[in-house]
A = this chain, B = another copy of it.
């Protein structure tokens, strides 16, 4: 189907204090700002350093968002891990809180696993969560997870659990795969999200749902604007403008660059902190990033500055 309006989600970067503990207050503030910019919150994604967080930390952060009044329909937390019981625990908690959906990685320690093994894994999770409200967005990100979700696996899961398999995020970076997903599954409400705004316009024109993109942390309003107005006459120019900003961030380790930008425009240097094994940008990289952003007239207006 063609969506009159596309949807954009941000895999929200996670702020850390100097002791590497999540800074809950700043996290809530950043999420509020993102919702105000018209993007949803795919908290605990790859760009959130979610796999560097513990299960308990993620449960507490999600509770904090809901306690702060963030609308649950804006929430698509990542809940996939290597471990069946921990994936079930996080997913059950998220669903019980009424989130719009969960973004689920496959178990990613063992490599070369079979579709049959992955089918059993997702089936177990769905049956153990045992909640009709569960809406899973499968997370295909082979460059990082090294475990791919094939079209046949997705088809089999959809057939077995039509009410629970709601969509897919395709972070393969391979437009042919995104296109194949839309062609095969996009016709009946299954939501195919591109893994970055690089393919946002193509995705929407092909009948996909939108994108879930790292740079929706820093450039949310413009990306959401294209998703809303993709049928307008200036859509191609909008897409080109998004790419100019995107390409700046892609020159650097992206998570560190997103946090460096957030640190700058919030006037709060600790935003640059990442958890190991990631490292922050060095001084030269940071200066180069800021110069490129200035040259592009980039800003993050209205960013939480407490």
Contacts and interface: CB of A to CB of B under 8 A. Distances in A.
Contacts of A84: 20, 52, 54, 275-276
A20 B109 contact: no
Contacts of A17: none
Interface of A: 20, 46, 51-57, 82-86, 89, 106-111, 113-114, 116-118, 120-121, 124, 143-147, 275-279
A253 B214 CA distance: 37
Number of copies: 2
A54 B55 CA distance: 10
A118 B275 CA distance: 10
Nearest to A86: B54
B52 A109 contact: yes
Contacts of A113: 277-278
A86 to B, nearest CB: 5
Contacts of A51: 82-83, 107, 109-110
A52 B82 contact: yes
A256 to B, nearest CB: 10
Contacts of A109: 46, 51-52, 108, 144-145
Contacts of A146: 111, 146
